[in-house]
Every structure is written in structure tokens, then in C-alpha cells.
């Protein structure tokens, strides 16, 4: 089992604040890292697929970076809005186990209006 850790576990920010959280993973045999957003009563939705060291991906106000050598990825949200409130999950793809994804426990973000 690969240990994927996310921090913080939960976060409350004011509307308009920018925030970021971390996904840490074993740096050996890296293949890909996915970020998902999971809103209450909905299905998890893919945000980014990160594959190369130094990758930076952006979708609107949300962006992510990847450092495979040290084993971490950051997710940034600029100017948080209430609709950003969700649990953000990262998942490490481990090809030797076929399509096995190892998920972190998630960061629960609440944006206070």
C-alpha cells in the first residue's frame, strides 16, 4: 500500500482569500497524480492529471504544481468563492498494480461568505 497524505485535513477560509493545500506521496516509481474535487451529494470530479516533474496546471482560479523528486503536489485556489467548498482529493496512480489509484484522505475546504 502506498501512503498518500494530504494536509490540512480541513480548512475554513473567508470568501476572497487565496489558499493552498498539499498532497505528499512516495517519490519513487512515480507515474501520475490526479486531483479531484468532491462536492457534497455529488460525484468526485477530476481537476488535473499531473505526470511530469515541474508540471503546472491551471483551470480558472485553481492551479496545481508537481514535484516528483521530493514527492509532493500543491493545489492553489485564488480568491476562494463559496462554490469552491468541497473536499479535494489527490490520487497516486501505481501502474505495477494495473489501474490502482491510492487516494489521500482529502482536504475539506469551507469558504465562508
Partner 1 sequence: SAVISQKPSRDICQRGTSLTIQCQVDSQVTMMFWYRQQPGQSLTLIATANQGSEATYESGFVIDKFPISRPNLTFSTLTVSNMSPEDSSIYLCSVEASPGSPLHFGNGTRLTVT
Which member of 41, 70, 83, 96 binds partner 1 (CB under 8 A)? 41
Per-residue interface string for the shown chain with partner 1, residues 47-66, x marking contact by CB under 8 A? --x-----------------
Which member of 104, 107, 109, 111 binds partner 1 (CB under 8 A)? 104
- Among 104, 37, 98, residue whose Cα is nearest residue 73: 104
Smallest gap from Cβ 4 to partner 1, in A, equals 7
Of 13-21, 28-36, 65-73, 78-86, the segment contacting partner 1 by CB under 8 A is: 28-36
Q: In terms of DSSP bridges, do strands 107-112 and 10-14 run parallel, antiparallel, or are they unpaired?
A: parallel
C-alpha cell, 87:
473536499
d(CA 96, CA 31): 10
DSSP 66-109: EETTTTEEEEEESS--GGG-EEEEEEEEEGGGSSEEEE---EEE
Question: What is the DSSP code (8-state) at residue 17?
Answer: -
Does residue 71 bind partner 1 (CB under 8 A)?
Answer: no
Query: Nearer to partner 1 by C-beta: 42 or 83?
Result: 42
Smallest gap from Cβ 11 to partner 1, in A, equals 16
**Contact residues for partner 1 (CB under 8 A)?**
1, 4, 31-32, 34, 36, 41-46, 49, 89, 91, 93, 98-106
Amino acid at each position: 500500500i502506498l501512503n498518500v497524505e494530504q494536509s490540512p485535513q480541513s480548512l475554513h477560509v473567508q470568501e476572497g482569500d487565496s489558499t493552498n493545500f498539499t498532497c505528499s506521496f512516495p517519490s519513487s516509481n512515480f507515474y501520475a497524480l490526479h486531483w479531484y474535487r468532491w462536492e457534497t451529494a455529488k460525484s468526485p470530479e477530476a481537476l488535473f492529471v499531473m505526470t511530469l516533474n515541474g508540471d503546472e496546471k491551471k483551470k480558472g482560479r485553481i492551479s496545481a504544481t508537481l514535484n516528483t523528486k521530493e514527492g509532493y503536489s500543491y493545489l492553489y485556489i485564488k480568491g476562494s468563492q463559496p462554490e469552491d467548498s468541497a473536499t479535494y482529493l489527490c490520487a497516486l496512480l501505481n501502474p505495477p498494480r494495473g489501474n490502482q489509484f491510492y487516494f489521500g484522505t482529502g482536504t475539506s475546504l469551507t469558504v465562508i461568505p
